[in-house]
Amino acid sequence: MTELSLKYGCNPNQKPAKIFMKTGKLPVEVLSGRPGYINFLDALNGYQLARELKEATGLPAATSFKHVSPAGAAVGLPLTEIERKIYFCEKAKLSPLACAYARARGADRMSSFGDFIALSDICDRETARLISREVSDGIIAPGYTDEALDILTNKRKGAYNVIKIDENYRPDPIEHKQVYGITFEQGRNELKITPELFENRPTANKEIPEGALRDLMIALITLKYTQSNSVCYVKDGQAIGIGAGQQSRIHCTRLAGNKADIWYLRQHEKVLGLKFKEGLGRPERDNAIDVYISDDYEDVLGDDIWQETFEIRPEPLTREEKKAWLDTLTGVALGSDAFFPFGDNIERARRSGVGYIAEPGGSIRDDNVIAVCDKYNIAMAFTGVRLFHH
């Protein structure tokens, strides 16, 4: 048996804590820091997600994990100039892997604060430099260049968690977990998300272009490692809104849709034109933008805080302006880990630009869901597979 002692369990009072394997060697090596129980849960789930995204798309992939669900996931497509600005990397040199991480982190920067990062490929210097600037708990990757490792092991005065995983490791097909002293056993979810899953299209609109099909695959792979109930909005190879762990699917759809809306509102000209005080940190800018976008921002921040944050007090972004801007968001793909029981989910989704949907189907109200999709000319695929993750 090989084992690795951890700082503590889920909470500081839960000691001792360790990870171990009864047979074989642990496939992970800690190169820096002292990861905890939740760090490893995020690392191992995040790495599986990044690896599957790479397998499905052929592109380098990255995830930003918090509390055993992704805050963001993306593949390494180039950033637009606007994305570079809202992700605070306007002047940075970006490799494809660095693009993947910038997009994964940029999807929901508020939730990604203090994230655990997972990369599909060997971490390069450009990606490490991006990570060095962000508030993060750690990273897992199949390897690191010498320059990248030097950057990361010096982050947080050497306390930053850097984990290397054996990319050739494959777990046993049967997995176990304990709850209240009782051991559960099940087959691992080895389902591969492939284009063939999307061939059953019951809606009048059956056109799902190649880019949207890729985005639907990204959505479902993301959901495979997101605490259920869950839905995921994806645009241009990047998750822009993930709703995790909700008891009601409509609440999941609303939560993820609101995150997608915030991601898009950050690209509004008024937000791009905000003049921050010199030296204000990225987390403080993210917080200020989040409040500025909200409907009650003037009630939340007083004059003294505005003066500390902005060079010039910004004009409000009105509800009418926000609605008009959000009306221009189109072509979003939406995946759900189980069927939509009511058409209200589709009504909410289309408000965030959803044009393509993938869900298992099988509800007694499938006809209603299809009818609402047809109402808005949304193309939907019934995959026939559920993707619960707990």
The residues that are catalytic are 66-67, 229, 390
Instruction: Say how far apart CA 222 and CA 386 lie, in whole Å.
Output: 13
From the CB of residue 6, how many other CB atoms can be counted at a distance below 10 Å? 19
> Beta strands 161-165 and 28-32: pairing type?
antiparallel
Q: How many helices (H) and strands (E) does the chain have?
A: 14, 15
Q: Cβ contacts of residue 118 below 8 Å, gap of 6+?
A: 42, 43, 46, 47, 49, 50, 62, 63, 65, 139, 140, 141
SS3 category, 350: helix
- Give the angle subtended at the CA of 109 by the CAs of 256 and 53, to the nearest 5°: 65
One DSSP character per residue, 272-336 reads: HT--BPTT--HHHHHHHHHHHHSTTHHHHS-HHHHHHHBSSPPPP--HHHHHHHHTT---EEEEE
Least Cα distance to 271 among 291, 257, 252 occurs for 291
Phi, psi of 178 (to 5 degrees): -115, 140
- Give the angle subtended at the CA of 103 by the CAs of 193 and 139, to the nearest 5°: 85
SS3 category, 59: coil
Burial tier of 306 (Cβ tally within 10 Å: 0-12, 13-18, 19+) = middle
Q: Cβ contacts of residue 72 below 8 Å, gap of 6+?
A: 63, 64, 103, 104, 105, 106, 107, 108, 111, 112, 238, 239, 242
